[in-house]
C-alpha cells in the first residue's frame, strides 16, 4: 500500500529514517516515496491491460515537477486544468500527445498555449468555451480534438465539496445538450469532436458510482454511434479513493474488473485521470512539536506546520493519521489532544480529540497520507514560507523544492514610487 512504516522504534520512508530527513531539511517538510509513487501508477496501468489506455496523472493532486517527471518517465500522461499545470507538464517532459486539459473556464491565453503545445484533447464543458476554442484554433490554423465532459447525474457518495457528477454541480453538460452539440458539430469548423469525458468526484471508495456513470456514458456513445458519430477516446476521469483511516476502497484490479464488461462494448481508447490514488499515500508531512498547552478541558499539541501547509483537515474536516517519528517507552501511554498549528484561525487544526502517544516539545510527528492535495493546496497565509519537499529513492533523499524564505514572500511585491514619496512627506510633517 505504501512505504512508510516503523522499523523498531523509528519511522521510515522506504529505508530512510525520517528523523534524519527532519534533521537535515528542517520542518515542516513533505517527504515522498519514489517506490510508492511508481507502484501505484503501475498497479493501475496493469489493471487496465485489457484495453488500450492512457493514464493521465491529475497534476492538481501534487504538482511538483519532479513528481510529474518521474511519472512521465514511467509512460504516464497528464491531466491539467490551467496554463500553469500545462507549463509544468511540458517542463517535466510529459509527451504532448498524452496531455488532456479539463476545467470549466479556460482563458484565451491558456487555450492558445494548449493549441501551440499540440495536446491530445481539450475536455470542454460549455458551448461558450467550444466557440472560443473554435475561434482561436481557426486563427492559429489548428484543428484540436475535443472531449465533451458530460454530467451523468450520479452520486459519487463522497464529500459534498468533491462531488462533481450530479446535475446540480457546475461540471459537465447534460446528456441532451451534449447530444445536440454532437449532432451539430459541423458548425465548429476547427474542432474535431472525438471524446467523451466524465469525472464524478474524488475519494470514491466504491465501484458502484463508476459503474453507474460509465454505463450512462456507454449508452450515450452507443446512441451517438447510431447517428454515425464515432468516439475515439473515453475519459473516465479520476476519483479513486485511498485509505486515510478505516476506509476500504476498491483495489485497482477490482475497479478495472468491474468496468470490463461495460468497456467491452466500446471501440475506443480509455483515458484515466487519477491524482490521489497515485500520490495520496506516497507522501507524509513532517512537523515538529513546538509547545504543549493545557487549557481548561483540553490539551493542545502545537506544531510548526499549519493549515497553510495542509488545508484538508480545516477545509473538509479530513482525517489524517498522525504518528511520532520515534516511539519512546513513555509513548506506551497516550492521551487525548488537539493537534494544532500556529495560524490565527480556530480552524487551524490537524486533529481534534485524537488519542496520541505522549509527545513533548521538539518531537517530530508525521502526518500521513499527505501526498495529494497537500503541498499543491498550500498557501502563504499568515506570511508563512511554504514547506520544503523531499523525494526518497533507493536509500537517498533529494530536495525537490526548497523551503521558501522571507525574501520569497515579498519577491513579487512592490512599494511603488508614490508610496515611498508619501512616506518621506509624512516624516517631514
Ligand atoms: N480529473 C478531473 C477533471 C478532476 O477534477 C480531478 C479532481 O478534482 C481529477 C481528475 C483527480 O481526482 P482524484 O485526485 O480524486 O483522482
Q: What is the pLDDT of residues 34-49, one digit of tens each?
A: 999 999 999 999 999 9
Tell which one of 40, 58, 152 to mutate to probe ligand 1, the residue whose CB is within 8 A of the most ligand atoms: 58
Atom of ligand 1 nearest to the CA of 280: 14
From the CB of 152, is ligand 1 less than 6 Å away? Answer: no
Residues 99 and 147 in one domain: yes
pLDDT for residue 276: 98
The rounded Å distance from CA 142 to ligand 1 centre is: 28
Residue 167 pLDDT level (bands cut at 50, 70, 90): confident
Cell numbers at 413, concatenated: 511585491
From the CB of 124, is ligand 1 less than 6 Å away? Answer: no
From the CB of 48, is ligand 1 less than 6 Å away? Answer: no
Residues 235 and 299 in one domain: no
The rounded Å distance from CA 237 to ligand 1 centre is: 6
Residues 85 and 197 in one domain: yes
Contact 61, 275 (CB under 8 A): yes
Residues 150 and 257 in one domain: yes
pLDDT for residue 272: 98
- The answer to the question of residue 416 being in a domain is no
Cell numbers at 292, concatenated: 504543549
Of residues 76, 268, 344, 397, which has the active-site annotation?
344
- The answer to the question of residue 172 being in a domain is yes
The rounded Å distance from CA 106 to ligand 1 centre is: 17
Residues 230 and 335 in one domain: no
- The answer to the question of residue 414 being in a domain is no
Residues 260 and 287 in one domain: no
From the CB of 202, is ligand 1 less than 6 Å away? Answer: yes
pLDDT for residue 162: 63
Q: Kindly state the average pLDDT of the residues 302-311.
A: 98
Residues 113 and 233 in one domain: yes
Residues 269 and 288 in one domain: no
The rounded Å distance from CA 173 to ligand 1 centre is: 17
From the CB of 79, is ligand 1 less than 6 Å away? Answer: yes
Residues 170 and 226 in one domain: yes
Span 117-141, pLDDT tens digits: 999 999 998 999 999 999 999 999 9
397 an active-site residue? no
Domain boundary residue, one of 244, 274, 304? 274
Residues 267 and 320 in one domain: no
- The answer to the question of residue 55 being in a domain is no
Q: Is the per-residue pLDDT at 113 higher than 60?
A: yes
Tell which one of 59, 60, 280 to mutate to probe ligand 1, the residue whose CB is within 8 A of the most ligand atoms: 60
From the CB of 273, is ligand 1 less than 6 Å away? Answer: yes
- The answer to the question of residue 110 being in a domain is yes
Span 182-191, pLDDT tens digits: 999 999 999 9
From the CB of 274, is ligand 1 less than 6 Å away? Answer: yes
Residues 301 and 390 in one domain: yes
Residue 333 pLDDT level (bands cut at 50, 70, 90): confident
Residues 236 and 285 in one domain: no
- The answer to the question of residue 428 being in a domain is no
The rounded Å distance from CA 172 to ligand 1 centre is: 13
Nearest CA to ligand 1 atom 10: 238
Contact 302, 341 (CB under 8 A): yes
Domain boundary residue, one of 255, 274, 293? 274
Span 339-388, pLDDT tens digits: 999 999 999 999 999 999 999 999 999 999 999 999 999 999 999 999 99
Residue 331 pLDDT level (bands cut at 50, 70, 90): low
Percentage of residues of the chain with pLDDT beyond 70: 98
Task: Please name every residue paired with 284 in a beta bridge, in sequence order, or none if there are none.
Answer: 31
Span 207-246, pLDDT tens digits: 999 999 999 999 999 999 999 999 999 999 999 999 999 9
Ramachandran class of 239: left when φ > 0, alpha when ψ lies in -120 to 50, beta otherwise: left
pLDDT for residue 429: 74
pLDDT for residue 342: 98
pLDDT for residue 186: 93
The boundaries of the domain holding residue 307 are 4-31+280-409
Span 400-418, pLDDT tens digits: 999 999 999 999 999 988 8
For 9-13, 41-45, 263-267, 291-295, which range has the lowest pLDDT when averaged over its residues?
Answer: 263-267
pLDDT for residue 421: 77
Cell numbers at 138, concatenated: 481557426
Domain boundary residue, one of 274, 304, 321? 274
Q: Is the per-residue pLDDT at 165 higher than 80?
A: no
Q: What is the C-alpha separation between 188 and 392, in angstroms, rounded?
A: 48
∠296-297-298 over CA atoms, to 5°? 100
CATH number for the domain harbouring residue 300: 2.40.37.10
Cell numbers at 269, concatenated: 481508447
Amino acid at each position: 500500500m505504501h512505504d512508510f512504516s516503523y522499523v523498531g522504534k523509528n519511522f521510515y520512508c522506504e529505508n530512510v529514517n525520517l528523523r534524519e530527513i527532519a534533521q537535515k531539511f528542517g520542518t515542516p517538510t513533505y517527504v515522498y516515496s519514489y517506490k510508492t509513487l511508481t507502484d501505484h501508477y503501475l498497479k493501475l496501468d496493469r489493471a487496465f491491460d485489457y484495453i488500450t489506455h492512457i493514464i493521465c496523472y491529475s497534476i492538481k493532486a501534487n504538482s511538483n515537477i519532479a513528481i510529474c517527471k518521474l511519472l512521465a518517465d514511467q509512460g504516464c500522461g497528464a491531466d491539467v486544468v490551467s496554463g500553469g499545470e500545462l507549463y509544468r507538464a511540458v517542463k517535466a517532459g510529459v509527451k504532448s500527445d498524452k496531455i488532456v486539459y479539463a476545467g470549466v473556464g479556460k482563458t484565451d491565453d491558456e487555450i492558445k498555449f494548449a493549441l501551440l503545445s499540440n495536446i491530445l484533447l481539450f475536455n470542454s464543458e460549455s458551448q461558450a468555451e467550444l466557440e472560443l476554442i473554435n475561434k482561436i484554433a481557426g486563427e492559429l490554423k489548428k484543428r484540436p480534438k475535443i472531449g465533451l465532459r458530460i454530467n451523468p447525474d450520479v452520486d459519487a457518495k463522497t464529500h459534498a465539496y468533491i462531488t462533481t457528477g450530479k446535475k446540480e454541480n457546475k461540471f459537465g453538460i447534460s446528456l441532451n445538450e451534449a447530444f445536440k452539440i454532437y449532432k451539430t458539430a459541423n458548425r465548429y469548423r476547427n474542432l474535431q469532436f472525438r471524446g467523451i469525458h466524465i469525472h464524478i468526484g474524488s475519494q470514491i471508495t466504491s465501484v458502484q458510482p463508476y459503474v453507474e456513470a460509465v454505463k450512462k456514458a456507454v449508452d450515450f456513445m452507443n446512441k451517438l454511434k447510431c447517428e454515425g458519430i464515432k468516439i475515439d477516446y473515453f475519459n473516465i476521469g479520476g476519483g479513486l479513493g485511498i485509505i486515510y483511516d478505516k476506509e476500504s476502497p476498491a483495489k485497482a484490479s477490482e475497479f478495472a474488473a468491474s468496468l470490463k464488461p461495460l468497456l467491452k462494448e466500446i471501440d475506443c481508447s480509455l483515458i484515466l485521470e487519477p491524482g490521489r490514488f497515485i500520490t495520496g499515500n506516497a507522501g507524509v508531512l513532517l512537523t515538529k512539536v513546538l509547545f504543549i498547552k493545557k487549557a481548561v478541558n483540553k490539551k493542545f499539541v502545537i506544531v510548526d506546520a499549519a493549515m497553510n501547509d495542509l488545508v484538508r483537515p480545516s477545509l473538509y474536516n479530513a482525517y489524517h493519521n498522525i504518528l511520532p517519528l520515534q516511539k519512546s517507552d513513555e509513548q506506551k501511554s497516550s492521551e487525548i489532544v488537539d493537534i494544532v498549528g500556529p495560524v490565527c484561525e480556530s480552524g487551524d487544526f490537524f486533529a481534534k480529540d485524537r488519542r496520541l502517544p505522549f509527545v513533548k516539545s521538539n518531537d517530530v510527528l508525521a502526518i500521513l497520507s499527505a501526498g495529494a492535495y497537500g503541498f499543491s493546496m498550500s498557501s502563504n497565509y499568515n506570511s508563512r514560507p511554504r514547506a520544503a519537499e523531499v523525494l526518497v529513492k533507493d536509500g537517498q533523499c533529494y530536495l525537490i523544492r526548497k523551503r521558501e524564505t522571507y525574501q520569497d514572500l515579498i519577491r513579487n511585491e512592490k512599494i511603488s514610487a508614490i508610496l515611498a514619496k508619501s512616506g518621506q512627506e509624512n516624516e517631514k510633517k
